[in-house]
Amino acid sequence: MKTNLVFDSLELELKQYAKENSVPIIIDEGLSFLESVIRIKKPKNILEIGSAIGYSAIRMARVCNSNVYSIERDEKMYNLAISNIKKANLEDNIHIIFKDALEALDDVKDIKFDLIFIDAAKAQYHKFFDIYTPLLNDEGVVVCDNMYFHGLVSDVENIDSYSRGVRGLIRKLNEFHEYLLNNDKYHTSIYDIGDGMSISVKK
Ligand code: SAH
Ligand code: MG
């Protein structure tokens, strides 16, 4: 097997940083699913909503040398992502856009994407989906992470024990599940992989 020690130690460093600083990077099982999608689709252009420290962007870019455009609104995360992408020598592949994803359409509107990976504020998934799917190629796929929101989405019995904010998020994610599952334009499957991942393709 081909290994790359520079990348591997960077990946470990990023995972360690995320753990110590509670940055919610994608968990291994979810990443493995996403990497399989990339191996199958071989996307030329990937759009990511929510870069954090650049971990998933780096992992995605490495699979088959795709271009990754990733949107991040938090300045500290943005700066960390930029520096990590430099360390990975992937500045030519990965472009981080420092904006709120609700307002970043203009930055990417001329690009056609083969994969859109949604992994930012859970309450806004529906909006992200509507804003960016017009840029998806006909054969493209949309993957969303954290569809189970740490298991809370299906924890209906205990819903009253959560704070109002968390209840609001659970409600929004449930609405998004319904929206995807009843969508006339997209076929969606939601899998119990990682923290719940959905995959949508055009009908
Ligand atoms: N994809 C990353 C993890 C992203 S965590 C990985 O797996 O490695 C979610 C990130 O989304 C956070 O850094 C947060 O700042 C960012 N975010 C949340 N809402 C956003 C929005 N509306 N626009 C841009 N970034 C957003
Ligand atoms: Mg996630």
* 104 domain-assigned: yes
Q: What is the pLDDT of residues 106-163, one digit of tens each?
A: 999 999 999 999 999 999 999 999 999 999 999 999 999 999 987 777 676 777 788 8
Domain total of the chain: 1
In a domain, 32, yes or no: yes
Ligand 1 atom closest to 59 (CA): 8
Q: Which atom of ligand 1 is nearest to the CA of 128?
A: 22
In contact, 55 and 68? CB cutoff 8 Å: no
| CA of 121 relative to ligand 1 center, distance in Å | 6
Residue-wise pLDDT tens digits, 167-201: 888 889 999 999 999 999 999 999 999 999 999 99
In ligand 1, the atom with minimum distance to the C-alpha of 71 is 24
| 166 Cβ neighbours under 8 A, 6+ residues apart | 152
* Nearest ligand 1 atom, CA 55: 8
Residue to probe by mutation, ligand 1, list 77, 117, 118, 143, most atoms within 8 Å of CB: 77
Neighbours of ion ligand 2 (CB under 5 A): 119, 145-146
* pTM across the whole model: 0.95
Distance CA 136, CA 118 (A): 13
Q: Residues in the chain, how many?
A: 203
For ligand 1, whether the C-beta of 71 sits within 6 Å is yes
Q: What is the CATH number of the domain that holds 175?
A: 3.40.50.150
Distance 30 CA to ligand 1 centre (A): 16
Pick the residue whose CA is nearest to atom 25 on ligand 1: 72
Instruction: Confirm whether 29 is domain-assigned.
Output: yes
What's the confidence (pLDDT) of residue 146? 94
Full domain range(s) for residue 197: 9-202
**What is the predicted pLDDT for the residue at 159?**
76
Model confidence at 1: pLDDT above 60: no
- List pLDDT tens digits, range 62-93: 999 999 999 999 999 999 999 999 999 999 99
Has residue 2 been placed in a domain?
no
Nearest to 194 by CA among 142, 139, 151, 153: 151
- Is 4 a member of any domain? no
